Amino acid sequence: MYDMYLVLLVCIATVILSMILTAVYKRVAMKFNWVDVPDARRVHNKIMPTMGGIAIFIAFYFALFILLPIPTSLILPIFLGSLIVLLTGCIDDLKNLTPLLKVIGILLGALVVYYFGGISLETMTLPLFGTLEFGSWSLPFTLLWILGFTNAVNLIDGLDGLASGVSIIALTTMGIIGFFFLTIQEVSISIMIFVLVAAIAGFLPYNFHPASLFLGDTGALFIGFMIGIFSLQGLKNATLISLVLPVVILGIPVTDTLFAMIRRKMNRQSISVADKNHIHHRLMSLGLSHRQTVLAIYSVSAIFSIIALLYNFSTFWGSILLTISVFVGVELFVEIIGLVGADRRPLLKSIREFGYKLNKKKPDDK
């Protein structure tokens, strides 16, 4: 069992270390011209140092390897897998990798944690159907899970502090659930999650609007990858609800990713084609400022996290009702901000038609 005072001190030390490393790295990035140049897709309009995820990576693993008594056998596969993803992000920030090469880098990292870390989806228990064995499908399901979460976080990294702040909210929720509701083995993972939160928190003051340093794909891919593998730690033998929880916790990036794919498919575009119709773009088009947009998305992320916590106290049917409510709420949110398109609002249209029928005047009685 871990000394909680030690864990708290390590988290505080990690925040301070991350802040120091970030300040030092910012100078290094400018010296070596590791910068992000604005273009038509960018919201910022000046050259900014990038790849700030390197400082988060170093602070995080320094705490795990040096400051905490976590077995090296548990950390090492995760370290090696995430290092591959971090390097993939670095190369992309410097050389602009094709989407395929980025996917290959993420999958290589996922293969390392699958084969050497034992992180995988193996079975799933469904009500009425019993336990399903993934068998040979365990590997592709695990790889798709990690790839999906990694890309989801990377996709929302479009405004100052957005990806880092949303990730802090999501990871904190995952850590709380793992610490209070899962087994001793998951407690170790929860502590690692809280240390990652501390490392990101030390970076956030430099990244929040107006930012002086960007995460870059380096940081967004690394954080997304870590969220993907941490969410899998409690899912080796998954239930329907345990499978839903990480998706709800990451509600904003998952929604943005899913509806970006739907939008591009409906517009007959490749799903890898970038556009300026993500959630943050749509909110800003409605008149919100840069900072207001980020804070609004933080608030929605916090709502998703509260819902995820409620699952742990709900009955099975209560969880079903929660899930239905989440689907309806997400659809309304998506249609209100026009995430798929201004003319594609089937639920709002149905509500308006229903309201019109209710308010339709009855003929006068004679």
- What local confidence, expressed as pLDDT, does residue 42 receive? 60
Q: What is the model's pLDDT at position 351?
A: 87
Other beta carbons within 10 Å of 334: 23
Can you give the pLDDT at residue 235?
64
Residue 154 is assigned to a ligand binding site? yes
Cβ-based neighbour number of residue 37 at 10 Å: 10
**Amino acid identity for residue 77 in this structure:** P
Give the pairing type, strands 48-49 and 130-133: unpaired
pTM of the model as a whole: 0.91
User: Does residue 366 lie within any of the structural domains?
Assistant: no
Both tokens assigned to 35: 């910068």
The strand ranges marked E within 169-261 are 237-239
Range of the structural domain that residue 125 is part of:
4-355
What is the full per-residue pLDDT of the chain (366 aa) written as tens digits? Answer: 568 889 999 999 999 999 999 999 999 999 999 998 876 556 666 889 999 999 999 999 999 999 998 889 999 999 999 999 999 999 999 999 999 999 999 999 999 999 999 888 887 777 666 777 888 889 999 999 999 999 999 999 989 999 999 999 999 999 988 887 655 456 788 899 999 999 999 999 999 999 999 999 999 999 999 999 998 876 666 666 777 888 999 999 999 999 888 888 888 887 777 777 889 989 998 999 999 999 999 999 999 999 999 988 888 889 889 999 999 999 999 999 988 877 888 888 888 887 877 777 555 544
Residue 345 lies in a domain: yes
275 labelled as ligand-binding?
Answer: no
Give CA angle at 364 (361, 366), nearest 5°.
Answer: 165
Which tokens is 238 given? 């998954």
pLDDT of residue 362: 53
363 lies in a domain?
Answer: no
266 neighbors 341 (Cβ within 8 angstroms): yes
pLDDT of residue 366: 43
Sign of CA dihedral 32, 36, 39, 44: negative
Q: Is residue 186 part of a domain?
A: yes
Q: Tokens 């409510």: give the residue.
A: 325
Alpha carbon distances (Å) from 132 to 27, 102, 121, 243, 246:
52, 32, 11, 13, 20
Residue 331, number of CB atoms within 10 A of its CB: 17
When divided into structural domains, the chain yields a total of 1
Closest among 172, 158, 145, 307 to 228, alpha carbons compared: 145
Structure tokens at 96: 């602009």
Residue at 26 is within a domain: yes
pLDDT of residue 82: 98
100: its two tokens: 């395929």
Cα-to-chain-centroid distance, residue 346: 28
The answer to whether position 360 is within a domain reads: no
In which order are the strands placed within the sheet that holds 123-126? 130-133, 123-126, 237-239
Diameter of the chain by CA atoms?
87
Residue 76 lies in a domain: yes
Rounded CA separation 269/336 (Å): 23
